[in-house]
Amino acid sequence: MRLMSLTPELVALCHREEADPGPDPSWTDMNDEDFRTLALRLSNEADEGPLWVFAYGSLIWKPEFESVEQQLATAFGWHRSFCLDMVRWRGSAEQPGLMMALERGGRCNGVIYRLPEGEKPAQIERLLRREISDHESIETVRWLPVHTPQGKLRALGFWVGVKGRGTSLNQPLDRVASVLARACGHIGSGAEYLYNTV
């Protein structure tokens, strides 16, 4: 296995203070009713039993939700990719960044979290509010079949099958590395995201 040469010291060199530019006015913000409606739809599509969430990026190291169990899992037919263009969060208009999403093809190893027993719509709504904020992102939230040592189940995945505006698919690794080395937004740098995620 190859060791990553990125160190905390190098990550610190990439950090700089950036103001939050706020949401892009050309995207359509979701309101409370939109979140409730989407959460109810996803809840109705869920399997019986516990609610599982599939994590492959920042949800692994910064889940911001309570879980009662976690397992390693694999989503076949998908792979992690730095393909989300960021001019906010971990990038800016002057130096856009990249964050991970799932693209078609291959396999993605990740972690699944089982949420505590409770009202699924309310649990899903909390997750939605963390992960998405606009109507244009709704189609990237979906149930994924995942494989675990104990068998197959379905877990909720975010930023799955992204396409269109705001995405840069199939980028060469040298370009991704160059972007991540320079980009920084109001919540942190691309280098920090890479270090924590990989």
Domains of the chain as residue ranges with CATH:
29-197 (3.10.490.10)
Q: What pLDDT was estimated at residue 69?
A: 96
Hey, how many other C-beta atoms are within 10 angstroms of the C-beta on 27? 14
Q: What pLDDT was estimated at residue 164?
A: 83
Q: Which parts of the chain register pLDDT below 50?
A: none
Instruction: Confirm whether 131 is a catalytic residue.
Output: yes
Residue in 45, 131, 139, 192 annotated catalytic: 131
Q: Determine the Cα angle at 33 with ends 28 and 36, to 5°.
A: 110
DSSP letters, 20-51, are -----TTS-B--HHHHHHHHHHHHHHSPSS--
Q: What pLDDT was estimated at residue 108?
A: 98
Q: What pLDDT was estimated at residue 198?
A: 83
Helix (H) or strand (E) holding 75: strand 69-86
Q: What pLDDT was estimated at residue 2?
A: 64
Instruction: Report the predicted TM-score, pTM, of the whole model to 2 decimal places.
Output: 0.91
pLDDT tens digits for range 115-164: 998 889 999 999 999 999 999 999 999 999 999 999 999 999 999 988 88
Q: What pLDDT was estimated at residue 1?
A: 56
Q: Are strands 184-185 and 188-189 parallel, antiparallel or unpaired?
A: antiparallel
3-class DSSP state of 100: strand
Q: What are phi and psi of 144, to 5 degrees?
A: -115, 135
